[in-house]
Structure 1
């Protein structure tokens, strides 16, 4: 088994002891059922709701509303922003097992330096969603053939404050979500193709690092990693060797990603918006769409919750 091989290799360098299957570590519970592990932070969430005074709040189906802005930045600033900063900082720890919170928490973190009163409502909405999804966690399942693939997406000019785009990606090893990000891009994109291409360059860097890590662990991939993008312009740009006026300003990212594609280290393919899993990291979604993508990411009810043990 790969697990045993890794342990044996580590034991030749470090003094280690095999403690068996994981159970509870740093606030993360590993629930095992029929070979599938669900990583859950239910105890941490329960304590967090108590600290926020929202143990009995009414649950919601999504952490952000698709019909309105997350909050108004025109409202008055907090006299004491400490509670806001403490609660948002605590939510960041949930991202270890809850990728479905990535977009909302990223949005709240952008105003930590000077939060307005209006963002308190957005923060409370996230807690109400967490209350309603207390028993879900990140599923980890065995994979016979290690295949690395990733989804990349961008919401062009998604922020009404500074007109910057939000980029996100999800990297999978087999059926398991391995790495994910929701992050505002550092520069203003002049086209949706540019915004999507920058997001592709970011996930290409992440996949390259994961490839290097897997090689160090002695795990050889069965195929070339595939990056899925729902923007045809960005997809064509990866394999088009000809520069033109509209792409000169993204030359640095172009060369990095273009070299990866031309050498065969990565493949970039088009995927329809309906099948774009990274949508959940770039924009608020309807309840049905959010639940669909959350399930496809592997965020599912804990086996104990399904069995009624909670």
Structure 2
């Protein structure tokens, strides 16, 4: 084995070390994708998704499905540091088996967005924790002390879950679609009944996970993107490691 020194470039990802952590960028790789798509002179887009249209399986087939799949695959690799395009790329990859012209238009829309945001990358912050810790749903459900301790917090649910949560909190009858819910989880209903827990609606502007599940208007998208630590490269303050 050979010690190549501090990491600075690996598999298309450049690494810039700063006093606060590391900045990962795939600018060079993203530029190559734009050139492969023959879109070097395209006008940039503010967001990666056109919120006025919804992709379906209809439309004329693309002339070169292989090129479509190649570009879609390249965009998938770009999501390592560009988490902000994850939803848009996932949508075009749903149609890789039979790409149509609307899908190609959506792919080109993503590239137009990348064209205007080549300067963005992923900021990783330094941490004093040296070990990896992971918890699964099973860990939470299997520990009564842990998951019952969450009753000390208000229950926040989004648009899609609100009506279901209100219904379930008032009607504990098991149905076909809720039979997977364990009996002990229904302790939440008792807390709702006693007034210890409130089921609240959370406005879209606070639903940060939406950046992974739907197309967003520019203002919301820009704000949520920052929460992913996808940002401009920091000032040149590289330090040794």
Give TM-score scaled by structure 2 length: 0.72
Partners of 2:216 and 2:77 lie apart in 1 by 23
The 1:249/1:30 distance shift into structure 2, 3 A limit, reads same
Map 1:288-299 → 2, pairs under 5 A: 288-299=219-230
* Aligned: 1:54 with 2:39: yes
**Residue 85 (structure 2) aligns with:** 101
3-state SS in 1 of match to 2:136: helix
Partners of 1:305 and 1:41 lie apart in 2 by 17
Map 1:257-268 → 2, pairs under 5 A: 258=185
**Residue 255 (structure 1) aligns with:** 182
3-state SS in 1 of match to 2:14: strand
Q: Which has the larger radius of gyration?
A: 2
Gap runs ≥5 in structure 2: 141-148, 189-198
Native 8 Å contact 2:61 2:100 kept in 1? yes
C-alpha displacement at 1:289, in angstroms?
1.1
C-alpha displacement at 1:241, in angstroms?
10
Partners of 2:18 and 2:96 lie apart in 1 by 39
**Residue 104 (structure 2) aligns with:** 120
* Aligned: 1:75 with 2:3: no
Give 4+ residue runs of structure 1 displaced > 6 Å after superposition. none
3-state SS in 2 of match to 1:303: coil
Native 8 Å contact 2:22 2:126 kept in 1? no
Partners of 1:234 and 1:244 lie apart in 2 by 13
* Aligned: 1:33 with 2:18: yes
The 1:285/1:207 distance shift into structure 2, 3 A limit, reads farther
Partners of 1:105 and 1:305 lie apart in 2 by 31
C-alpha displacement at 1:234, in angstroms?
5.6
Indicate the structure with greater strand content.
1
Native 8 Å contact 1:23 1:31 kept in 2? yes
Partners of 1:143 and 1:18 lie apart in 2 by 24
Cα RMSD of the aligned pairs, angstroms, is: 3.9
* Aligned: 1:141 with 2:125: yes
3-state SS in 2 of match to 1:45: helix
Gap runs ≥5 in structure 1: 1-15, 149-172, 174-205, 213-222, 262-268
The CA deviation string for residues 254-309 of structure 1, in whole angstroms up to 9 with x for no partner, is 239949x9xxxxxxx96543211111111111111111100111111112589xxx
The CA deviation string for residues 58-93 of structure 1, in whole angstroms up to 9 with x for no partner, is 1111011222224x6432112431111110011000
Partners of 2:210 and 2:61 lie apart in 1 by 31
Native 8 Å contact 2:62 2:104 kept in 1? no
C-alpha displacement at 1:30, in angstroms?
1.5
Map 1:1-310 → 2, pairs under 5 A: 21-70=6-55, 73-143=57-127, 207-208=135-136, 229-230=157-158, 231-233=161-163, 243-244=172-173, 247-252=175-180, 254-255=181-182, 258=185, 271-303=202-234
